Structure 1
Amino acid sequence: MALAEQNSHRHIYIADDDEDDRIFFSEAMLEVDPDVILKEAQDGAELMEILHTLSDPLPEVIFLDLNMPKKKGFDCLEEIRKLKGAIREVKVIMFSTSSDPQDIEKAMELGASFYAVKPSGFDTLKSFLEQVLQMDWRCRTNDRGKFRLI
């Protein structure tokens, strides 16, 4: 939680083309931590535009959907990991309805920090987000291949 102690607001990004999913996520996140500054992108191209013109503090975590128009989640992840500077080290959670082992494997190979299957229930999503915000990422560096069905 060192970042949260240094900065009273946590910056979290989500890229998802489904507006209902973004609203669901936003409501859950703000119930978990009302001080979070949540930036939303409606597709991968918009996310990458935001990241390329970033003047705000770096996001603590980016939640990234796989299947989006204009630019897919895998393409965004690959591009993020090739960027120069600290942005390439930002934690990226692939957040998709897909539980296909090939998608999970590919996400981890491309540098995802974590893979989670989107929950259908609001309370389950809130519980997951609480756990993510409390996660000690330093302990996860060698924890490749982990994912969670929620």
Structure 2
Amino acid sequence: MDEDPKIIICLADDDEDDRMLLHEALLELDRPFRIFELCSAQQLIEHFSKPEQEPADFIFLDLYMPGMDGFECIERLRGMGPAPGNARIIVYSIDSAAKTMQRAFALGADFYAVKPSTYEDLKNLAAIVMGASWEDLSAQERIFHIR
């Protein structure tokens, strides 16, 4: 059986436009991605509850969705084992408050991105996240915020 070289990415956001734009920005990087779009944190948890589910490499997670919020979702993902537990979790939110970022990192987020207002900035975010040398990123480099 051939090894699938694709990078697996999950996009969990209740805003369909935000999911679509981020999906397109990722595809513009011209890398071998397999992208799953999910409408809620609960769908993301259910996605990884299937025993046959492959591990994700990256999870983009909105913090504020109906039902389970992103904070609870991060906690649950980190406790689920290898499929989601080892993924890089990128919080993707409109909230730019320092206390929100601190809480997300304390729960296990790897990166915090304030949703950019332009498509060009969104493409830059995608390139930064996908091109990062994660072990070398300082705490400040794990935050993306266009002022």
TM-score when normalising by structure 1: 0.87
DSSP 3-state at the match of 1:87:
helix
Aligned pairs, number? 143
Q: Which runs of 5+ in 1 are unaligned?
A: 1-5
Deviations 1:47-105 (A, max 9, x none): 10001115243111100000001211111001011123453121101110110111101
What's the C-alpha RMSD, in Å, of the aligned pairs? 1.8
Task: Tell me the residue number matched to 1:81.
Answer: 78
Q: Secondary structure at the match of 1:98?
A: coil
Aligned to 2:144: 148
Structure 2 unaligned spans of 5+: none
Counterpart in the other structure of 1:94: 91
Tell whether 2:47 aligns with 1:50. Answer: yes
SS at match of 1:92: strand
Change (3 A) 1:87 1:20: closer
Alignment of 1:1-150 (within 5 A): 7-33=4-30, 35-53=32-50, 55-85=52-82, 87-140=84-137, 143-144=138-139, 146-150=142-146
% identity of equivalent residues: 34
- What SS is found at the alignment partner of 1:55? coil
Query: Counterpart in 2 of 1:3?
Result: none
After TM superposition, what 4+ stretches of structure 1 lie above 2 angstroms from structure 2?
54-57, 84-87, 143-146
Q: What TM-score results when the alignment is normalised by the length of structure 2?
A: 0.88
Counterpart amino acid of residue 149 in structure 1: H
